[in-house]
Structure 1
């Protein structure tokens, strides 16, 4: 089932095809090695955005190299602005078909290419970030943050499941719904979670206290796109992000961290969604707004862990 197929009007996301693991000890056949793997991303894609954030936060820019595709995707899928010098590909589809000539699904980012075996290791976006956090520890510089602390993993995993189902994927479930019931179900769950997160962030700086974790990384890309795209383009317009004092302040707080702000490209985000998704926006016209000041001061640092 592809990302555009529906069940009773409900959006169903395509399962990930490549799910091999990179491991610190090499037991998977793909050992964590500096310079071996190429992370393929788009600044427009929220799933890819989280991988760029983690790569930067952990100081892995010199360990895992990066290839960025053009934000405008056509019937051939994601394309490289110029032929990728490492893989030799012009389109991400070439990497998928080189890894599996029988592959017939959508060609998605993020994905990780192994320069040694010349095949895709994974396009399993939920686990690419935790793989970097847990399997590349030998390459982390002194002072690198622990985004996935062992003692918090059950709680982080639980919150991540909620965020994925109702927020990250929830906006797509609303935007691509083809029945009123499916749309209503998705939007109500989305804003119920926003309300819960607004309350959670009233007394703590980040989702788990004073330090950024994997949960913050997963939530942020949706927040960054919310008012610019999802509020109007995906009909998630019950409220705006800016209508939530705590969530909006929290989002700006994260944006002020270079790993988050420097990987947030609103121009590419808007052009991708409004030009590429003609089933939602047939004209391809990209709106000028909204005019939002993400650098507006916030005082989140004054909060205790709660």
Structure 2
């Protein structure tokens, strides 16, 4: 466990680097930093941001797509999901499937198509997987713009957790309310769905819900269990949104490009995003 003063010092370094779009060396390149230490930095970031007026609205899950683990991590590959707090300042709800998104200040931005859910009820600490699914209010398509302060996207898992979970901006499409019947089968439905990702009309990738821990709902279950081991953070609460992780690889994006997504196997509208 990091001393609070050291965790705060690192947290301010990350906030300063983000504010000025400045690169940082991974902490693990200079000292030992374990996963627990990284979450201590994340906690300091949450405390500072909340004190400065930002409002926590949910959680961002990352590295839930195990097909991508071998692509990340320098000393050793990523081998487990991670999470970070989502704040209102980086979440946009879209009222139509076409939007323009600025990349100003974004460090090495990449795009990730995901599924976002909202909790309508607070799950019990000992909730079963089925009971956790019953707590969901709606589901929506989300596109996350992930960013990285580290040159060439080279880091260890702990570095990613400490750097805001690599979160930049989350764009959320039209939410679809979930019926009781839908919740019952939702894990399987999403697992068997697919999403395509295109840039300027050219198909670049397709991914499946099953890439995300066999189903994005399993990713939420993993988060619920993980939070039991992290008493410094609150458990999942009613009203939170959770973005569950990318279905495809994360692709670099640049101003002037228009990216689009389309789903098959699930009734979620795709999104078209022009970057400036």
Task: State the TM-score, normalized to the length of structure 2.
Answer: 0.29
Which structure is higher in strand share?
2
Which structure is higher in helix share?
1
Larger relative contact order, structure 1 or 2 (CA cutoff 8 Å, min sep 6): 2
Task: State the TM-score, normalized to the length of structure 1.
Answer: 0.27
Q: Computing the radius of gyration over CA atoms, which structure comes out larger, 1 or 2?
A: 1
